Amino acid sequence: MSKFHTLIAGLAACLAVASVPAQAKGCLKGAAVGGVAGHVAGHHAVAGAVVGCAVGHHLAAKKDREDREAARAAAVRVPPASAPRP
């Protein structure tokens, strides 16, 4: 089996595992970048794709969490310290 077929099989496995859209966020981009990086760094495209998927998902979840916290903080207005108190 050629390296290309192995890469395709690894990407297909990532897609099968991450079939729920909420869990797949970041996985496809991470798998693509990781697969290329793994291939260039010693023909480990499948391992790179798997690790890239995990890292991409982690970063996407972290960004979503930060966005939710920022939206929550914006919803709660804190008066400035110089505002007169009643």
Number of other residues whose CB lies within 10 A of the CB of residue 17 = 13
CA distance 71 to 81: 22
Tell me: the pLDDT tens digits for 33-80?
999 999 898 888 989 999 999 999 999 999 999 999 998 888 776 666
Model confidence, pTM: 0.58
Residues across the chain: 86
Q: How far is CA 60 from the centre of its chain?
A: 4
Tell me: the pLDDT tens digits for 8-28?
777 777 666 655 555 677 888
Number of other residues whose CB lies within 10 A of the CB of residue 52 = 25
